[in-house]
Amino acid sequence: MSLSFPFDLVWPTSGYVVLYLVTLLMHALFMSYVLGGALAVAFVRLHGVRENGPVTRTFIDWLPFALSAAITAGVAPLLFVQILYQREFYTANLLSFHRWMSILPVLIGAFYLLYLLKARPHARRLSAAVASAVALSILFVAWSWIENHMLSLNPSVWAKQYESGALAYRDPAVFLRLAFWVALALPTAFWLLVLQLRFGASGAKPEEALFATRRLAPVALGFLLVAAALAPFVLRGTWSLSSVDEALLDGADRPYLVLAAVGVVLTLGGWLRAQHLPRLSGLCVALGSLGLALTWWGVLCARELIRLARLDLDTLTRRHAELATSSGLFVFLVFAVLALAVTAWIFRRVSCALRQPVG
């Protein structure tokens, strides 16, 4: 069983795919927080639960930042996807035209609604309406990305899609895929939230945080299992691959599905421990977080292997080799190290300063 993808691809394709996957993983984490958080807040508000406990409060407080981070983190894979799969990505964008472009005003709207929600968290009717509008907007954006991805993988339908003038790509697999991403986003969002609650980022008291962990655990576990059940349909089988693709793929994605499954088991372990511990132990944090990271990495690698099986790898690698003659990699690496250092410095400086009384 080999888990060497994407390092086993030829250089420079492997380098571009690594950067794409690492930055997409960052995007996926923030995106999950936004998707899961928006759905959770909308659910709570719509059910009239007078919950203004730590879960809703923290989500409402952090969602604007998370959306900003999801977008900022999304820009990097947006760059790398254009390097890796320029023709496919551009064509899918062009085919969906206004529908695709409409994610931008929707995102701006969602942003301001999130600030409104934060400014008026207690207005019950208003916050139910606003939270639902945000959740729908985010779902719409997720749906659009999925549709774009599916369309980019199907060159055989491009001409027909263009001729028909249809702005939506109708493929039942799109909805199954949306269900899968939602099912994975929710436990991811909840785990990130539990880390926030338990490490005090939200100002929740320890007993409140523990209580919230216990309430979230069964929901998170349930959705993890739903995601695991959907994965074979979304990442394998006729929903995403033709028999030709499957032959080309030749089971290369299987180790990554196994890796994702191991991740799910570890995450389950993390949740089970977290709901019993008054204080989160390092082991518990590691279990849940490593589990999630493995799950996402496995899923993203399997997703990429399918794409590479569908497209002509030789043409792609030749193109990437041509692109790699462009200089600037060294400058990027130097600034990447600097940016990491500055990121760490900001965290340290702010947390140290917050611990000291302002003089």
- Give the footprint of other proteins on this chain (CB under 8 A): 19, 65, 68-69, 71-76, 78-80, 82-83, 86-87, 90-91, 93-95, 97, 100-101, 104, 107-108, 111-112, 115, 158-159, 162-165, 323, 325-329, 331-332, 335-336, 338-339, 342-343, 346, 349-350, 353-354, 356, 358-359
| Strand ranges (E), the chain | none
Nearer to ligand HEM by Cβ, of 78 and 272: the residue is 78
Nearest CA-CA partner of 329 in 16, 7, 87, 20: 16
Q: How many secondary structure helices (H) and strands (E) does the chain include?
A: 13, 0
Nearer to other proteins by Cβ, of 165 and 282: the residue is 165
At its nearest, how many Å lie between ligand HEM and the CB of residue 27? 6
Please say whether the beta carbons of 294 and 259 come within 8 A.
yes
At its nearest, how many Å lie between ligand HEM and the CB of residue 71? 4
Which partner from the list ligand HEM, other proteins, none does 91 bind, CB cut-off 5 to 8 Å by kind?
A: other proteins
Ramachandran area for residue 251 (φ above 0: left; ψ -120 to 50: alpha; else beta): left
| Interface positions, 158-197, toward ligand HEM (CB under 6 A) | 177, 181
Number of CB atoms found within 10 A of residue 42's CB: 22
Nearest CA-CA partner of 170 in 186, 150, 187, 142: 150
At its nearest, how many Å lie between other proteins and the CB of residue 139? 18
- What phi, psi does 87 have (nearest 5°)? -60, -45
Please say whether the beta carbons of 263 and 296 come within 8 A.
yes
Sign of the Cα torsion 67, 95, 312, 85 reads negative
At its nearest, how many Å lie between other proteins and the CB of residue 90? 4
Nearest CA-CA partner of 28 in 304, 248, 232: 304
Euclidean distance between CA atoms 252 and 309, whole angstroms: 10
138 binds ligand HEM (CB under 6 A): yes
111 binds ligand HEM (CB under 6 A): no
Which partner from the list ligand HEM, other proteins, none does 63 bind, CB cut-off 5 to 8 Å by kind?
A: none
133 binds ligand HEM (CB under 6 A): no
35 binds ligand HEM (CB under 6 A): yes
Nearer to other proteins by Cβ, of 88 and 253: the residue is 88
Which partner from the list other proteins, ligand HEM, none does 7 bind, CB cut-off 5 to 8 Å by kind?
A: none
Instruction: Give CA separation, 246 vs 26, 111, 233, 237, 261, in Å.
Output: 29, 41, 13, 8, 20
Whose tokens are 């008026």? That residue is 120
Euclidean distance between CA atoms 346 and 208, whole angstroms: 29
Using CB under 6 A, which of 27, 45, 57, 236 touches ligand HEM?
A: 27
Nearer to ligand HEM by Cβ, of 45 and 149: the residue is 149
Residues at the contact surface with ligand HEM, assessed by CB under 6 A: 24, 27, 31, 34-35, 67, 70-71, 74-75, 77-78, 81, 138, 141-142, 145-146, 149, 152, 177, 181, 303
